[in-house]
Amino acid sequence: MAFEFTTENKRHFDEILTRYPVKRAAMLPALWLVQRQAGWISHEAMEYVGGLLGLSAAKVYEVATFYTMFNLKPVGRYHFQVCRTLPCQLVGAESITEHLQKKLGVKLGETSADGRYTLTEVECLGSCGTGPMLQLNDDYHENLTAEKLDALIASLK
C-alpha cells in the first residue's frame, strides 16, 4: 500500500526541510516522522521519503536499517524494548525479559496476536546507571523489578 504523509505531517516535513541546506540531510527526521505516523517504516515509505529527498529507496533503506531505533516491521501498540547490554545484564535484564515474556504472552521479537504488545531487545539506551531498564514506546522505565513491570503493564489496560 502506498505511503503518504498526512497533510499535517507534510507541513511538518516541509518545515524540517527549511533547517537543512541539503535535502538529504533531513533523512533522519523524515524517517522519524514516518515512524510517528505509521508506527513503522515500510518499503513504500522509504520510496516516498526517497522521492521527497531526491534519493533512491536503496539509500533510504541503508540509513533506516543502520539505526536500530527504526521499526522495519509493524509493532504493537505498546513496544517494549529491553536494554540488553552488559550494564543492564549485570543487574537483571535477563530476568526482566523473562518476566515480560510471561506477562505479555510473547517471545522476543514477537507481537501479540491482538497487536497490543511487541517485545524486543535493543542495544544500549544510555541509561547504564539505572538498569535494568526498557523503553516503552517513547518513555524510559528504569530500576525495573517484576513488581514495577506488573504495575506498568496494568497501567496500559
Q: Is the pLDDT of residue 1 over 90?
A: no
Same-domain status, 90 and 115: yes
CATH of the domain at 92: 3.40.30.10
118 vs 14: CA distance, rounded Å? 32
Residues in the chain: 157
> How many other CB atoms are there within 10 angstroms of residue 108's CB atom?
15
What local confidence, expressed as pLDDT, does residue 84 receive? Answer: 93
Asked whether residue 2 is assigned to any structural domain, the reply reads: no
Q: Is the pLDDT of residue 149 over 90?
A: yes
Asked whether residue 1 is assigned to any structural domain, the reply reads: no
- In the chain, the percentage of residues whose pLDDT exceeds 70 is 100
Number of domains comprising the chain: 2
Q: Tell me: the pLDDT tens digits for 72-121?
A: 999 999 999 999 999 999 999 999 999 999 999 999 999 999 999 999 99
Same-domain status, 86 and 148: yes
Structural domain containing residue 55 = 7-66
Mean pLDDT of 40-60: 97
